Structure 1
């Protein structure tokens, strides 16, 4: 029984990491499109870098 609980917890963690990666990638596309259309905004890029670092930290701690 404990093995199945551990497996589902690992599955949830992997799923949340995939969701975080998808959010980071889609945010990158949105920030890039905004920059091309309306010009660069340093705060948007700063926010994206912070999101990317959080995603990277999450990936490292899950491994």
Structure 2
């Protein structure tokens, strides 16, 4: 049996439906800027933004 690099449904995370900077709603049916962070436990977390301005603020604050 050959191994594949598939991801299981349990390990997939949905994008947040609120902006990480201002809290405004993020329509997950449309494209919006996003990034990922790794927690101290090694989990990958999707960080969503309502627009490029909020993403830029988030990057500058880091």
TM-score, with structure 1 as normaliser: 0.23
Question: Which has the larger strand fraction?
Answer: 2
TM-score, with structure 2 as normaliser: 0.23
Structure with the greater alpha carbon radius of gyration: 1
Q: Which has the higher contact order (CA 8 A, sep 6+)?
A: 1
Question: Which has the larger helix fraction?
Answer: 1
